Amino acid sequence: MTKIYLTLTAATALMAGMAAADEVRVYNWSDYIDEALLEKFQQETGLTLVYDVFDSNELLETKMLAGGSGYDVVVPTGTFLQRQIAAGAFQKLDKAALPNIDNMWDVIEERTAKYDPGNEYAINYMWGTTGIGVNIGKVKEVLGEDVALDSWDLVFKPENMEKLASCGVHFLDAPAEMLPAALNYIGEDPDSHDPEVIAKAEAIYSPIAPYIQKFHSSEYINALANGEICVAVGWSGDIIQAQSRAAEADNGVEIAYVIPKEGAQMWFDMMAIPVDAPNPEGAHKFLNFIMDAQNMADASNYVYYANGNKASQALLNKDVIGDTSIYPDEETMANTYTTTPYEPKVQRVVTRLWTKIKSGT
């Protein structure tokens, strides 16, 4: 019955040519949701869900600033969210339409308020850290049994990298995360916006750059899982996905995700509604649906990322809530840092420095 009704609604919408009223368009990161949830949303609300994916904040930001994207819900990372709010890209949330907002976790809300004071424009979807993925067997083979895996020394010391180059190292192609990591490593403020301080990261990268096989933000998942590379600096959930893929394939590859003891960057992916969203009412329904404890737990159980939903924690699988690389313990949590968006002039310095590190020019 519901199905017939759904089909009918969709058909009427198509015929009328006015999709806006019963269609919600969501633009989220790739591999970032359990698709069963999308079907569930359509059945519960009778709305048609159009779900598209992207793979870089820059791409999303360009769409947001050009305007007229046609999306109702988008998912920028906190630093980008802050910049886009300043540019007037989002509308304030109507909290009365979001009863499930009481499920949100105050610890995370406190941190996301740094980007969105009062959490007026966005809700947290998932969050994670940027750390190191290690193929334990291969790294020990190359660097010796008693190598310390819990330190940035592993990838920032040229003598280690020289040896690791033989089994393959990937770094994220994300200057806003990789430069702070190097600054944090040498004891500078990772959130520094001072071009002179940021320039110090070059001294860390230029000796190791020749040993980095590739700067890329998604290829490392597969490359780690099938043993093509032995070390990747990447995002927590992605590396844990590589870990479970390797375990499923039973190929003898054992992957670990490490939050180094010197500290790691913590980031938050936020759901927000563009100022020119065609269906803001439907967008609010989607956000409320996502903030449901069971739905959020299903999403995290599927993608292995922590979420900002306190009520969902009771419903999370053991291998998610119990894994300290997904939900770090308090000590590790205290050791993480966050960053703020660069001003246009500093952003230029950062991009330029990153190009120089990667290409030598």
Partner 1 sequence: MSTGIVSRGQNTALGAALIAVAVFGALVAAALWRGAAPGAWAVTGSLAGLAGFLALWTRAGSDQRTSFLGATVIGLPYAWLLALFLVPFAIVLKISLSDVALARPPYMPQYDPAQGWAGVVDLVRELDFENFVFLTTDDLYWKAYLSSFRIAAIATACTLLIGYPIAYGMARAPKEWQATLLMLVILPFWTSFLIRVYSLMGILGNEGVLNGALIRAGLVSEPIQILNTQMAVYIGIVYTYLPFMILPIYAALEKMDESLLEAAEDLGCSRLQAFWLVTFPLSRGGIIAGCFLVFIPTMGEFVIPSLLGGAGTLMIGKVLWEEFFNNLAWPQASAVAVVLLLILIIPIVLFQRSEEKAREAGK
Write out the residues near partner 1 by the rule CB under 8 A: 56, 58-59, 61-62, 64-68, 83, 86-89, 175, 209, 212-215, 228, 344, 347-348, 351-352, 355, 358-361
In angstroms, give the least distance from the CB of 2 to partner 1: 37
> Please, is 89 exposed, middle or buried when counting C-beta atoms within 10 Å of its C-beta (0-12, 13-18, 19+)?
buried
Full DSSP string of 106-167: HHHHHHHTTTSGGG-SEEEEEEEEEEEEEEHHHHHHHH-TT---SSTHHHHSHHHHHHHTTT
Q: Which of helix, strand or coil describes residue 23? A: strand
Q: Are strands 336-337 and 264-272 parallel, antiparallel or unpaired?
A: parallel
What's the rounded Cα separation, in Å, for the pair 128 and 266?
Answer: 6
CA angle, residues 8, 29, 238, in degrees to nearest 5: 130
Please report how close the Cβ of residue 256 comes to partner 1 at its closest, in angstroms. 24
Residue closer to partner 1 by CB (options 331, 359) is 359
**Under 8 Å CB-to-CB from 209, ≥6 apart: which residues?**
357, 358, 360
CB of 141 vs partner 1, minimal distance in Å: 19
**Least distance to partner 1, CB of residue 210, Å:** 10
Tally Cβ neighbours within 10 Å of residue 174. Answer: 23
**CB nearer to partner 1: pick between 18 and 107:** 18
103 versus 213: smaller Cβ distance to partner 1: 213
Q: How far is the CB of 327 from partner 1 (least distance, A)?
A: 32
Q: Which is nearer to partner 1, 212 or 233 (CB)?
A: 212
Closer to partner 1 by Cβ: residue 175 or 234: 175
Question: Closer CB to partner 1, residue 25 or residue 83?
Answer: 83
- What CA–CA distance (Å, rounded) separates 178 from 191? 12
State the minimum distance, in angstroms, from the CB of residue 356 to partner 1: 8
- Other beta carbons within 10 Å of 183: 21
Q: What interhelical angle do 344-359 and 201-208 show, nearest 10?
A: 20
Residue 38 carries which side chain, given as an amino acid letter? L
Least distance to partner 1, CB of residue 104, Å: 28
CA atoms within 13 A on the CB side of 160: 18
Work out how close the CB of 68 gets to partner 1 at its nearest, in angstroms, rounded to a whole number: 4
Q: Nearer Cβ to partner 1, position 17 or 360? A: 360
Nearer to partner 1, 42 or 347 (CB): 347
Residue 75 corresponds to which tokens in the numbers above? Answer: 């998912």
